[in-house]
Structure 1
Amino acid sequence: MAKFCYVSPHLQIQHLSQHHHQQQHRTNHLLLQQHKFPTSQNLIFPTQYNHCRLFAFPIRRPNFTLNALHSDPPNPEEVGTNEAYQQWDSLTSKFSGAANLPFLLLQMPQILLNAKNLIAGNNIALFAIPWLGMLTSLLGNLSLLSYFAKKREKEAMVVQTLGVISTYVVIVQLALAESMPLPYFLATSVVVVSGLFLNFMNYFGLLNAGIWRFWEDFITIGGLSVLPQIMWSTFIPYLPNSILPGAISFVIAVLAVTMARTGKLSEKGVKFVGGISGWTATLLFMWMPVSQMWTNFLNPENMKGLSAFSMLLAMLGNGLMLPRALFIRDFMWFTGSTWATIFYGYGNLACLFLLNIISKEFFLAATVGLVSWIGTAFWRDSVVRGYSSPLASLRDLVFGS
């Protein structure tokens, strides 16, 4: 938080005469006794450092105004607001960290079931899990881990690290069942170990900048290549089975990264390429509910195999990260979390309700809880920032403050 130092506009000027100096000193002494508390005569200057920077002003300066300092210094209510801001900052971080629990519970049943089938020698059961989909999820987690490591969001890093590890455990199980080809598994293992190592080395400031740029280029090219291919594959057999979307995207990604690194793009272009990896990872996760909804539309009977508890956990996990994304004004993070909360978690619960698979009471409780949570996040954010309406927080998020 900013430090504050009180600066009297009646500070002595060193070039005054000795007599004037003594008289000014007595005047300052009286003024300090008068102004025990901050007033409009006792200006407050926020600084980013731990020491105060003092500036000597003449007693009168006509037409001299500073908008940020125009009103009287903070009263106890405003100080309380600052404390509320800090408390909400801390609380949103804890919410983000708490998302680990529902995400862990979401993955554990699948891991335990796979282990049970492997022990029983029922390897065929694991062939029902598409290893390509797990690989895509893994790439998304690694990309977002790099994004949050760069932003120093520790709690979000832990969530993505847990996602990488839990997804990799499933991939190991698929490899043991020979569902996933061994060469792909070995390559995936190298990427996972390298990704975790590089991200945490970078977080603690122990990584060479050139190596980190290479890793960023790698996940940018990988994410941009995989996303169009996954989107295309969702609508097979209505679209022909082809690797053309992924191949074209790969060429475009390599070209864009090469041009950015060789200085052939403008500053805005370089910034755009630098943000691709985060957005492609977000879009990969955003596409998951679209794929699930499409499957529900084509095969409504398959909805009976969808766990309402799993969808509730997905809604809770993503929903817990919404306040933090809103608080730090991260539009990409907020977009991805909101999309997954509403369309993946809540959307599938709505499908289960429409097909009479879950009760009306369960669905209404989920609806009220979700609306209340999102509304509270916006309301509290507007309060700690001193806004008159939660819409101001939404405006800041989308258009910037």
Structure 2
Amino acid sequence: MLTGLLGNLSLLSYFAKKKETEAVVVQTLGVISTYVVIAQLAMAESMPLPHFAVTSAVVISGLFLNFLNYFGWLSEGVWRAWEDFITIGGLSVLPQVMWSTFVPFVPSSILPGMIAGIVAVAAVFMARAGKLSEQGTKLVQSTSGWTATLLFMWMPVAQMWTNYLNPDNIKGLSAFTMLLSMLGNGLMIPRALFIRDLMWFTGSAWASFLHGWGNLLCMYCFRSISKGFFLAATLGFSMWIGLTLWRDTIACGNRSPMKSLRELVFGP
């Protein structure tokens, strides 16, 4: 849950910097809803009070700083410090989450997170000290957004791994929740494609396909949903992707959807 919270805060910062209002609203709601659940855990004494206090400070600070930056009321130095914080946090958490997914097949260890954290601190320090090339500095600056995207992209992988190890867990999944995940992320694909934002497009397409449709496929294979439900979801998803590519091709004056995809990956 804390991983999802960090991901939401990182993506909120990314979209606030780009002034993408709708995406900012979505990520803000994600932060608030996750924090409400964490607060309930703290009230039920399932989360230590010091941990909750630190989490609350990060959430409040993150929302406040992003709000100020969105309206252009924040100094560049403070914003850069916040970006450094979420970059280090994201790079530290991502390898640890990936490693933990495969425990007990791999030994339980915090070493991946520690190593990644040290590398992240060194990279941020070198970027701020001017020790990296211009391209290297830009790479470090874009890291927080990509790590947040990869955190969310890893969630369906972990879910499918759990399904593989314990198929009985599939019975606890909600088909409508998976459908909403597919629809919600799918609705962001056209905007991401239109503005040629590869990170946004990658995260939305991956989540819509794997977290939404992929889990529906697992549920269908294990007979947790009907054939009609799965086929309707598949048809709707396919039509939406086709419509997105078609309309983007027309809007951008391209002859083929492949040109839109090439521009997305390699630039105009």
Name the counterpart of 1:399: 266
Name the counterpart of 2:26: 159
Name the counterpart of 1:223: 90
Map 1:117-156; keep pairs closer than 5 Å. 134-156=1-23
In structure 1, how many angstroms separate the alpha carbons of the residues matched to 2:119 and 2:194?
35
Map 1:71-90; keep pairs closer than 5 Å. none
Name the counterpart of 1:206: 73
State the Cα distance separating 1:136 from its structure 2 match.
0.4
Is 1:299 matched with 2:161?
no
Map 1:209-288; keep pairs closer than 5 Å. 209-288=76-155
Cα deviation digits, residues 177-225 of structure 1 (max 9, x gap)? 1111211111000000000000010111111111101000000000000
State the Cα distance separating 1:353 from its structure 2 match.
0.3
TM-score norm. by structure 2 comes to 0.99
Is 1:376 matched with 2:257?
no
Structure 1: give runs of 5+ residues left out of the alignment: 1-133
Q: Which amino acid aligns with 2:159?
A: Q
Structure 2: give runs of 5+ residues left out of the alignment: none
Name the counterpart of 2:186: 319
Cα deviation digits, residues 130-177 of structure 1 (max 9, x gap)? xxxx10000000000000011110110000000000000011011111
Is 1:385 matched with 2:255?
no
Partner of 2:107: helix, strand, or coil?
coil
Name the counterpart of 2:216: 349
Name the counterpart of 1:173: 40
Match of 2:197 among 330, 334, 347: 330
Partner of 2:191: helix, strand, or coil?
helix
In structure 2, how many angstroms separate the alpha carbons of the residues matched to 1:398 and 1:263?
28
Q: Which amino acid aligns with 1:305?
A: G
In structure 2, how many angstroms separate the alpha carbons of the residues matched to 1:384 and 1:246?
44
In structure 2, how many angstroms separate the alpha carbons of the residues matched to 1:289 and 1:275?
23
Match of 1:310 among 168, 172, 177: 177
State the Cα distance separating 1:255 from its structure 2 match.
0.3
* Structure 1 segments (4+ residues) deviating >2 Å: none
Aligned-residue Cα RMSD (Å) equals: 0.6
Partner of 2:244: helix, strand, or coil?
helix
Cα deviation digits, residues 256-293 of structure 1 (max 9, x gap)? 00000011111011000001000000000000000000
Match of 1:196 among 51, 63, 73: 63
In structure 2, how many angstroms separate the alpha carbons of the residues matched to 1:351 and 1:387?
37
Q: Which amino acid aligns with 1:235?
A: F
Percent pairwise identity: 72
In structure 2, how many angstroms separate the alpha carbons of the residues matched to 1:385 and 1:247?
45
Q: Which amino acid aligns with 1:297?
A: Y
In structure 1, how many angstroms separate the alpha carbons of the residues matched to 2:55 and 2:77?
22
Cα deviation digits, residues 239-258 of structure 1 (max 9, x gap)? 10100000001100000000
Name the counterpart of 1:37: none
Partner of 1:320: helix, strand, or coil?
helix
State the Cα distance separating 1:399 from its structure 2 match.
1.1
Partner of 1:386: helix, strand, or coil?
coil
State the Cα distance separating 1:378 from its structure 2 match.
0.6
Q: Which amino acid aligns with 1:342?
A: F
TM-score norm. by structure 1 comes to 0.66
Q: Which amino acid aligns with 1:238?
A: F
Name the counterpart of 1:9: none
Cα deviation digits, residues 338-358 of structure 1 (max 9, x gap)? 100001011000000001110
> Which structure has the bigger radius of gyration?
1
Cα deviation digits, residues 70-104 of structure 1 (max 9, x gap)? xxxxxxxxxxxxxxxxxxxxxxxxxxxxxxxxxxx
Cα deviation digits, residues 269-324 of structure 1 (max 9, x gap)? 10000010000000000000000000000000111011101100111110010000
Is 1:187 matched with 2:54?
yes
Partner of 2:72: helix, strand, or coil?
coil
In structure 2, how many angstroms separate the alpha carbons of the residues matched to 1:272 and 1:385?
28
In structure 1, how many angstroms separate the alpha carbons of the residues matched to 2:104 and 2:203?
28
Higher helix share: 2
Q: How many residues align?
A: 268
